[in-house]
Structure 1
Amino acid sequence: MPPVVNRRQLLQTAAALAAPTVLPAWAAPLPQLTLSGPPAIVSAPLIHMAQSNALAGVAAKTVFTPWRDPDQLRVLAIGNKADILAMPSNVAANLYNRGAGVQLLNIATWGALWVVTRDGQRQTLLDFKGEEIAVPFRGDMPDIMLQLLCAKQGINAQRDLQLRYVPSPMEAMQLLITRRVRHALLVEPGVSMALRKTQSFPVNVVAPELHRGVDLQQEWGRLFKRPPRIPQAGIAAVGAVRQRPEVLAAVQKAYAASVAWCRANPLECGQLVAQYVDLLTPEAVADALPHSQLEAVPVAAARSEIDFFYQQLLAQNPSLLGGKLPDAGLFGG
């Protein structure tokens, strides 16, 4: 007996076969992908990605726009004015815990913080008790790390140091090179820029004006009995792009490739970065690369180090993370 034919089903099948193929929305390339980051080494791969059109497979156009300070970063993230943002790791957790749509993709900067000084004999934070230090971004990553490392060895940074807060690392650098302060907490490539501007580099200069004093990464390792690397900053997806797994995968792959390119081509990398950050020179960026521990580690591989870092921040001041440890959603879980 022949099978019973359902005329309605046949008509539906024929109509489906005749209709043009429509790709799901997630498969269509984005018209534009906006990358953003600070005037720091973590942004160098993002700039290279935009310049080389490394994301052509998932976006018709890729652009890079710099952010100046953490307040502008937060506006970009909350207002969905960028898709992929380089940001301090604590800011990613803070934004996530406060309800912003943020997914941390990797940790890329594992330490680029130094106290630069006119006194080459000062090598530990204890050596700076009673001294004035210019510190950028009050309440954000440089200041957080300084206070955390001070507290770990019994120094009250607010009482035992004279902290002179300034709006940005570049302003801290300017105070230092114009002799208005003797010490400054700087972030690479600001450290290398200060050494270049005062002719304190290369290292065989007979009488350098400035010195790399305290390596905060080494202090972290010494005080916490861990490797001298801090999960300081990485890249995060914000807004609707978090729902595009193929875009996130492409971004992570391209970022890792651009990290490798920057490390292999430091001067060319510096020339790219200098196009977006007026105060930086190609030579300073090239000098900074070996000192910045630039390595793209996916969050899954970096999770134990991130968790330990977050635990220290939570114990110091819960508000640094938005009041609590972030759950797995921050990491795409």
Structure 2
Amino acid sequence: MTRRRFLTVLASLALAGPAMAEDAGSIRVSGPAVAETLPLLAMDRAGALPGVARHVTFTPWNSPDQLRAMIATAGVDAAIMTTASACTLANKGVPAAVVALFSSPVWLVSPHASLSRLSGLDGQEILLPFGPGEMPDLLLRALAGQAGLRFTPRHAGNALEAVNLLLLGKGSCALLSEPAATLAVSRASAQARPGALVPAKQLDIRDAWREVFPAHPELAQGALAAVGPLVRDAALRGALRTAYGQAAKWVAEHPREAAGMASEGFPALGSQAADGVLPGADIRLVSGPAGSEAARFFLGLLHDMSPASIGGRLPGPDFFEVGA
């Protein structure tokens, strides 16, 4: 389901239909093949949320279009998504609230050392997971625009496709989250001929962000968002936020067990393990007013660049529920 089709469906579809988490006795969660999904798998494995009689059931999403289809058909209660996507949902009439924010590594992966500085981006073609208007595209455009740099985007279907294009020599730089960034480097090293240039993690976009926006150094572009009827239940939202934080701590303390769990429950994620560990498993949550402020600043940049990228307007005061 394309973004345009999704917004059309939302205009005529009431999501508070019979497929409610309260009725089903479970909270249905979803995430893509990124490290921040690991706590959701752990929550599924653990069963009931602490303090409430609700189990967690996990289903992966593999593209933004798939996630949009799940939301449009009331097939999910909470999902890992971007803050921009969550804001768009709220602005288009879907109940949505962010219950966790992440500051996640996002790497420029390239064999060229010039990409270890943001200025090296200028004039380059960059492989970006997903299509135009999705978060990798928006994030890099916001950062490059503020720095006065220009690049040419080349869009791939997902992160693993971008990795494969990079390894096949059909691109010289890719913007990748973990664990895809480490996967690209490890596979390139294993396949490299003696003396050949090998892709490396040249620049963490979070470092470039702090350089370009020193007054707003925290980059909080990723979120766990509740959608649909779950948003109306404060107790369940709170339980979900608490359980995710506890699961993230467990994942960081048990990286090999987490990687094994991913291999069983989400092979596309588990296959990205390096030496039995999924890079990025030490998830950094950004909580409280500082987290909300960081996310609002980011959304404000996107709004200035393209109001449609966040659904037309900045979110209301109750949109972020990320703890004290």
TM-score by length of 2: 0.83
Question: Which residue of structure 2 lines up, in the alignment, with residue 49 of structure 1?
Answer: 43
Higher deviation after alignment, 52-61 or 271-280? 52-61
CA distance in 2 between partners of 1:285 and 1:94 (Å): 37
Structure 2 matches for 1:70-219, cutoff 5 A? 70-107=64-101, 109-137=102-130, 138-156=132-150, 161-199=151-189, 209-219=198-208
Higher deviation after alignment, 43-52 or 241-250? 241-250
| CA shift in 2, pair 1:125/1:332, >3 Å | closer
Q: 2:213 is matched with which residue: 224, 228, 247? A: 224
Residue 26 of structure 2 aligns to which amino acid in structure 1? Answer: Q
SS in 2 for 1:95: helix
CA deviation after TM superposition for structure 1 residue 153, in Å: 1.2
Q: Deviation string for 1:30-66 (max 9, x for gaps)?
A: 5222110111111111111101225265345421001
Q: Deviation string for 1:173-226 (max 9, x for gaps)?
A: 1111222212111111100111221237xxxxx987111122211111100114
Question: Which residue of structure 1 lines up, in the alignment, with residue 279 of structure 2?
Answer: 288
Q: 1:34 is matched with which residue: 13, 28, 31? A: 28
Question: Which residue of structure 2 lines up, in the alignment, with residue 261 of structure 1?
Answer: 250
SS in 1 for 2:116: coil
1:271 and 2:264 aligned:
no
SS in 2 for 1:199: helix
Paired positions, count: 297
SS in 1 for 2:33: coil
Q: 1:69 is matched with which residue: 47, 63, 81? A: 63
CA distance in 1 between partners of 2:268 and 2:172 (Å): 25
SS in 2 for 1:296: coil
Consecutive unaligned residues of structure 1, counting only runs of 5 or more, are 1-25, 201-205
1:312 and 2:301 aligned:
yes
Check conservation: 1:37, 1:66, Cα contact below 8 A.
yes
When the two chains are superposed, the root-mean-square deviation of aligned CA atoms in Å is: 2.7
Residue 211 of structure 1 aligns to which amino acid in structure 2? Answer: A
Larger Rg: 1
Check conservation: 1:36, 1:86, Cα contact below 8 A.
yes
Check conservation: 2:159, 2:180, Cα contact below 8 A.
yes
Residue 146 of structure 2 aligns to which amino acid in structure 1? Answer: K
Check conservation: 1:29, 1:60, Cα contact below 8 A.
no
| CA shift in 2, pair 1:29/1:77, >3 Å | closer
Question: Which residue of structure 1 lines up, in the alignment, with residue 320 of structure 2?
Answer: 331
CA distance in 1 between partners of 2:88 and 2:235 (Å): 26
Check conservation: 1:106, 1:297, Cα contact below 8 A.
yes
SS in 2 for 1:328: coil
Structure 2 matches for 1:244-255, cutoff 5 A? 244-255=233-244
Question: Which residue of structure 1 lines up, in the alignment, with residue 3 of structure 2?
Answer: none
Consecutive unaligned residues of structure 2, counting only runs of 5 or more, are 1-19
CA distance in 1 between partners of 2:115 and 2:45 (Å): 41
| CA shift in 2, pair 1:250/1:311, >3 Å | same
CA distance in 2 between partners of 1:230 and 1:122 (Å): 20
SS in 2 for 1:278: helix
Residue 259 of structure 1 aligns to which amino acid in structure 2? Answer: A
Check conservation: 1:170, 1:190, Cα contact below 8 A.
yes
Residue 262 of structure 2 aligns to which amino acid in structure 1? Answer: V
